[in-house]
Structure 1
Amino acid sequence: MDVQATPPVRPRIAFLGTGAQGSSIAADFALAGHDVTFIDQWPAHVEAIRAKGITVNFPARSVNVKVPALHLCEVAEVKGKFDLIFLVVKAYDTTWATHLIRPVLAEDGFVIGLQNGMTHEEIAAVVGRHRTIGAVIEIASNMWVPGVVNRQNDHDESWFALGALDPDQQHRVEGVADILRSTGRVEVMEDIRSAKWMKLVVNAAELIPSAIIDTALNDAARIPEMLEIMRAAGYEAIHAALADGATIMPIIGMQPVMSNDPERYVDEIFAEVLRTFSREDTLTTSLQDWRKGRRAEVQEVNGWVVDILRAHGRDAPVNRRIVEVAFEIEAGRARPEPGNLALLRATPQQQDGASHA
Structure 2
Amino acid sequence: MQFQPASKRIETVWRKTDELKIAVVGTGAQGASIGADLALAGRDVTLIEQWPAHVEAMRANGITVNLPKRSINAKVRALHLCQVAELREPFDVIFVVVKAYDTRWICQLVESVLAPNGLVVGLQNGMTHTAIASVVGENRCVGAVFDMASNMFEPGVTNRQNDHDTSWFALGPLAPENRERVEQIAGVLRDSGRVEVSDDIVSAKWMKLIVNAAQLVPSAILNLPFAEAVRMPGMERLMRAAGYEAMHAALADGADIVPILGMPPPRTNDPDRYVDLIFDEVLSTFMMADTLTTVLQDWRKGRRAEVLDLNGHVAQTLRKHGRPAPVNERVVAMALEIERGDRQAGIANSSLLTGDLQ
Aligning the two structures, in what range does the TM-score lie when normalised by the shorter sequence? over 0.9
Alignment of 1:10-29 (within 5 A): 10-29=19-38
Counterpart of 1:293 (choices 287, 296, 302) is 302
**Corresponding residue number in structure 1 for 2:52:** 43
Aligned to 2:230: 221
Tell me the TM-score normalised to structure 1 length. 0.94
Give the superposition deviation at 1:326.
0.4
1:235 aligned to 2:235? no
TM-fit CA distance, 1:114? 0.1
- CA shift digits 1:76-123 (9 cap, x unpaired): 001210110000000000000000100000011100000000000110
Task: Structure 1 unaligned segments of length 5 or more: list them.
Answer: 1-8, 348-357
1:275: which partner in 2?
Answer: 284
Counterpart check, 1:152 vs 2:161: yes
**Residue in structure 2 matched with residue 353 of structure 1 by the alignment:** none
SS in 2 for 1:298: coil
1:119 maps to 2:128: yes
Q: 143, 146, 151: which one pairs with 2:152?
A: 143
Cα deviation 1:259-282 (Å, max 9, x = unaligned): 331111111100000100010000
Alignment of 1:56-135 (within 5 A): 56-135=65-144
Offset, 1:239: 0.2
Residues in 1 aligned to 2:323 and 2:115: alpha-carbon distance in whole angstroms: 43
Q: Which 4+ runs in 1 deviate beyond 2 A?
A: 257-260
CA distance in 1, matches of 2:63, 2:116: 30
Note the C-alpha offset of 1:171.
2.2
Q: SS state of the match for residue 161, structure 1?
A: strand
Deviation at 1:169, TM superposition (A): 1.2
| Partner Cα distance (1:258, 1:41) in 2 | 44
**Counterpart of 2:9?**
none
> Partner letter of residue 337 of structure 2?
E
What letter is aligned with 1:51? Answer: A
The alignment status of 1:212 with 2:221, answered yes or no, reads yes
Question: 1:27: Cα distance to partner?
Answer: 0.5
Normalized against structure 2, the TM-score is what? 0.93
Give the match's secondary structure for 1:269.
helix
Structure 2 unaligned blocks of 5 or more = 1-17
Identity of aligned residues (%): 63
Q: In the aligned structure 1, how far is the partner of 2:353 from the partner of 2:119?
A: 41
Any idea what SS the aligned residue of 1:149 has? strand
8 Å CA contact 1:111–1:132 kept in 2: the answer is: yes
1:322 aligns with 2:331: yes
- The 3-state SS of whatever aligns with 1:37 is strand
- Matched residue, 2:62: 53
SS in structure 2 at match of 1:206: helix
SS in 1 for 2:116: strand
Shift of 1:224: 4.0
The alignment's C-alpha RMSD in Å is 0.9
Residue of structure 1 equivalent to 2:182: 173
